[in-house]
């Protein structure tokens, strides 16, 4: 099977033989920790190392005994979908003392462990680094006490540490997202969406408290994701007199026919004098000043609970494998590192650099240097705050710039969750920039029929949480109707176009660009935002809607696997959507713990199918009772889902039975995930700012018209590795397979070996993107925000 180019690691030459790796979870628990533990164990065993669990965090390391146990491949089965941490976590005062660390060192030496993978927050990672620095001194002390042999000092001379950040608060500098943050956002948004329906019924104001004692990330991003009226966070306390401004905003929203208000408060929210702002204070303020029926909801530990989201499972699995690679490649002089996420790429950063920058944020807050605290927190956080302010707080008409430009927004192709959030963001940013915003219903079909009308700020209220496409969307391409579209552009004096959609949207922009020679009306700035569950658009690693579809797949796979618990051995064959693009099958398979995923991009034959059946048969002879196989809908015209189901049923007779499930359009429906809401919101805001800039650049004073016919005036805004990039659509033609509607190169193919390794297949693993220890940069390009989800 075809492999991506790059430096590869093979089972034969990446050996962990003779090495012992221990994994522990420490501090507060976070959803996705189990996925990280599973990845560390399986990758460690795969390369031939011994792997140990340390139960109950540092307490288990100090106490030793049964708390340190050897891990097995089967021992981490069925962990992927479980929240919290199954190996336990505990805060340990004893480890903070020299005596406690001496005991811990003795317990590790007894098992020959010199490689430690720590999953926790900054306190846990700081403790691990101190332990590493003291290691040789601790061993010398143990020899002097006669507890260990003298040669042990030489044999176990260095302790190697790699950290992964598990924290729902996303409060660790150096990484775009920490393990657990996305799942916590899922819990918050589920509650907010539910509360909004009851608040609307009774015209109530709800004040919600979310976690974040020292970091306002959850509050800020959930406010962005649900379109909250007001948000209070510790990094950027409101200006003095905020109470009056907030009440004016709430009152104005009610006057604008809005039946509810949502205020989100981080538990660590403070005012400019560092005095805490509590939910009760906010509630009493609203009742006293406005007389609104107001209720308080404190989400508490609900945010830590539940199953991990698809994003957290994938993040944790990638980080876990990367952590083992880092441990195998480390030397005595390598500083302790933390495996981190920058954009869509895993990176290794010096642990203490990240810790020091995290501590800088708190120091800046303590000293009331709030602007600096936001900057040190990172560009992702700063961009979230700017975007929220832009979308939540409408300027008075008198303060708005007057551009006299008309910008049209439309959706094209199949609906994708998050499209409405992107439209809302575009409309509001456009109005803030002084443009007249026009909404086009039903894509280019509605365009040529003249279904175009002005859309105002209040018209898009409450759109972020809506699935599908409220503007309506069609697959119609513009080429056949170019003349009528040009006529509508003249009629409505449209000066710029924002197209939100999938592969059809790319084809539309290419057709409009090519028609510029005939129709001057198309010589305007045009921008496309990728929005499709298939994630098959060239020029971007991620598309709006794909994360929601992945969560639907993973949630269904969890339920399907659970349905077999307590029954005989069973294998499930699941068909996913995606056209010819295998993204959903591959990444969904990685997140759901699949044994195989059949896709068009990696051709397979009957021998591969037979090998997979034999592999599953071997697994079923162990304690593993369930198997999961995903198949992309167009992976092969002959090896259909029915064929694979029948083959597995026949060949597995006497060992396992088989069931099949076609997931269908459930992958396209539902409320958008927090990631899709925020990704759509942020890239749409960036696109509108680009359009505003292009309008100014291409406006001709002589005839008072916009004229843009260069390649760079017709772009796709995509997420490329670490950055959001505007790319001329013409330049993307060479990267595109138009017959199968997929990019010629796809980054996620590098994840397939990872999925196979975790399913116990022998394969090669491409590490061309990893292995380099980088340094933390202040405000490095985090707007990459791939991860961010925001």
Instruction: Classify burial at 214, counting beta carbons within 10 Å of its beta carbon; exposed 0-12, middle 13-18, buried 19 or more.
Output: middle
Q: Token digits for 9? A: 């690691």
Dihedral of CA atoms 784, 787, 789, 790 in degrees, nearest 10, equals -40
63, 169, 676, 785: the active-site residue: 169
Q: Is 171 a catalytic residue?
A: no
Alpha-carbon span 37 to 30, nearest angstrom: 12
- Determine how many CB atoms are found less than 10 A away from the CB of residue 636: 17
For the chain, the maximum distance between any two Cα atoms, rounded to a whole number of angstroms, is 92
Question: Which candidate, 511, 493, 513, 518, places its Cα nearest to that of 706?
Answer: 493
Question: Which candidate, 784, 786, 783, 777, places its Cα nearest to that of 387?
Answer: 783
Find out whether 294 and 206 touch, Cβ atoms under 8 Å: yes
Alpha-carbon span 38 to 53, nearest angstrom: 10
Q: CA-CA distances (angstroms) from residue 22 to 35, 48, 53, 155, 299? A: 15, 14, 6, 17, 34
Question: Which candidate, 533, 550, 542, 552, places its Cα nearest to that of 417?
Answer: 533
Cα three-residue angle 715-721-722, rounded to 5 degrees = 95
Instruction: Give the chain's end-to-end CA distance (angstroms, integer).
Output: 35
SS (H, E, C) 378-398: CHHHHHHHHHHHHHHCCCCHH
Find out whether 34 and 82 touch, Cβ atoms under 8 Å: yes
Angle between helices 419-432 and 674-698 (to 10 degrees): 40
* Residue with token string 């959930």: 222
Alpha-carbon span 531 to 533, nearest angstrom: 7
Which of helix, strand or coil describes residue 507? helix
Q: What are phi and psi of 727, to 5 degrees?
A: -125, 130
Name, in order, each residue with C-beta under 8 angstroms of 53's C-beta and a sequence gap of 6 or more. 22, 23, 24, 37, 41, 68, 69, 70, 71, 75, 87
For 476-492, letters b (16+ CB in 10 Å) and e give: bbbeebbeebbebbeeb
Find out whether 63 and 33 touch, Cβ atoms under 8 Å: no
H helices present in 57-97, as ranges: 57-63
**Ramachandran region, residue 379 (left: φ > 0; alpha: ψ -120 to 50; beta: rest):** alpha
Alpha-carbon span 473 to 190, nearest angstrom: 26
Alpha-carbon span 178 to 164, nearest angstrom: 8
Alpha-carbon span 640 to 634, nearest angstrom: 8
- Strands of 343-501 (E only): list them: 345-350, 406-412, 436-440, 452-454, 473-474, 496-501
Q: Which residues are catalytic?
A: 169
């Amino acid at each position: 099977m075809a492999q991506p180019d790059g430096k590869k690691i093979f089972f034969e030459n990446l050996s962990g033989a003779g090495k012992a790796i221990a994994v522990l979870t420490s501090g507060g628990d976070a959803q996705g920790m189990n996925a990280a533990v599973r990845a560390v164990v399986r990758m460690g065993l795969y390369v031939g190392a011994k792997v140990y669990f340390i139960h109950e965090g540092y307490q288990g390391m100090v106490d030793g005994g049964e708390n340190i146990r050897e891990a097995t491949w089967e021992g981490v089965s069925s962990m992927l979908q479980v929240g919290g941490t199954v190996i336990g976590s505990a805060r340990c005062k004893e480890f903070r003392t020299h005596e406690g660390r001496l005991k811990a060192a003795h317990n590790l030496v007894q098992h020959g462990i010199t490689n430690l993978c720590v999953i926790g927050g900054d306190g846990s990672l700081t403790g691990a680094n101190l332990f590493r620095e003291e290691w040789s001194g601790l061993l010398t002390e143990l020899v002097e006490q006669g507890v260990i042999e003298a040669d042990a000092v030489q044999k176990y001379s260095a302790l190697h540490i790699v950290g992964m950040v598990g924290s729902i608060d996303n409060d660790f500098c150096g990484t775009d997202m920490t393990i657990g943050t996305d799942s916590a956002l899922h819990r918050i948004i589920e509650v907010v969406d539910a509360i909004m329906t009851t608040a609307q019924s009774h015209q109530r104001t709800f004040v919600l408290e979310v976690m974040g004692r020292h970091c306002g990330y959850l509050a800020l991003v959930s406010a962005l994701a649900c379109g909250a009226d007001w948000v209070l966070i510790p990094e950027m306390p409101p200006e003095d007199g905020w109470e009056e401004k907030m009440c004016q905003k709430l009152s104005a929203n009610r006057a604008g026919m809005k039946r509810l208000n949502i205020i989100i408060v981080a538990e660590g929210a403070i005012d400019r004098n560092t005095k805490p702002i509590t939910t009760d204070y906010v509630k009493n303020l609203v009742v006293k000043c406005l007389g609104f029926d107001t209720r308080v909801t404190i989400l508490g530990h609900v945010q830590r609970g539940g199953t991990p989201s698809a994003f957290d499972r994938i993040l944790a699995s990638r980080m876990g494998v990367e952590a083992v690679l880092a441990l195998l490649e480390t030397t005595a002089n390598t500083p302790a590192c933390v495996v981190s996420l920058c954009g869509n790429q895993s990176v290794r950063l010096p642990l203490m650099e990240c810790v020091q920058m995290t501590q800088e944020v708190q120091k800046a807050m303590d000293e009331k240097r709030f602007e600096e605290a936001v900057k040190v927190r990172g560009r992702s956080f700063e961009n979230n705050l700017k975007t929220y302010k832009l979308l939540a707080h409408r300027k008075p008409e008198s303060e708005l710039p007057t551009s006299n430009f008309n910008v049209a927004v439309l959706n094209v192709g199949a609906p994708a969750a998050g499209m409405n959030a992107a439209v809302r963001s575009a409309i509001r940013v456009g109005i803030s920039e002084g443009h007249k915003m026009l909404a086009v219903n039903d894509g280019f079909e509605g365009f040529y029929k003249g279904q175009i009308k002005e859309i105002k700020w209040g018209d898009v209220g409450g759109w972020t949480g809506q699935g599908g496409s409220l503007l309506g969307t069609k697959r119609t391409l513009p080429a056949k109707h170019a003349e009528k579209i040009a006529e509508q552009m003249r009629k409505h004096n449209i000066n710029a176009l924002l197209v939100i959609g999938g592969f059809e949207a790319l084809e539309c922009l290419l057709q409009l660009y090519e028609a510029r020679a005939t129709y001057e009306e198309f010589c305007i700035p045009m921008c496309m935002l990728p929005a499709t569950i298939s994630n098959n658009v060239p020029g971007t690693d991620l598309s709006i809607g794909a994360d929601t579809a992945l969560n639907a797949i993973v949630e269904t796979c969890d339920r399907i696997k659970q349905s077999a618990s307590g029954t005989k051995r069973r294998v499930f064959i699941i068909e996913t959507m995606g056209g010819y693009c295998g993204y959903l099958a591959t990444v969904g398979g990685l997140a759901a713990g699949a044994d195989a995923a059949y896709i068009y991009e990696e051709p397979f034959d009957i021998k591969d199918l037979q090998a997979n059946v034999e592999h599953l048969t071997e697994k079923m002879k162990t304690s593993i009772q369930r198997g999961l196989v995903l198949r992309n809908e167009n992976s092969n015209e002959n090896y259909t889902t029915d064929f694979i189901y029948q083959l597995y049923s026949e060949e597995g007779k006497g060992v396992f039975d088989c069931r099949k499930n076609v997931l269908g359009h459930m992958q396209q429906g539902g409320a958008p995930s927090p990631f899709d809401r925020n990704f759509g919101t942020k890239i749409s805001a960036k696109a509108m700012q680009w359009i505003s800039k292009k309008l100014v650049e291409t406006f001709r004073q002589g005839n008072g018209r916009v004229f843009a016919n260069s390649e760079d005036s017709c772009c796709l805004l995509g997420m490329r590795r670490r950055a959001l990039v505007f790319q001329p659509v013409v330049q993307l033609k060479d990267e595109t397979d138009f017959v199968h509607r997929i990019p010629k190169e796809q980054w996620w193919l590098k994840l397939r070996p990872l999925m196979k390794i975790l399913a116990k297949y022998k394969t090669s693993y491409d590490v061309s993107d990893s292995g380099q220890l980088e340094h933390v940069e202040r405000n490095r390009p985090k707007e990459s925000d791939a991860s961010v989800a925001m």
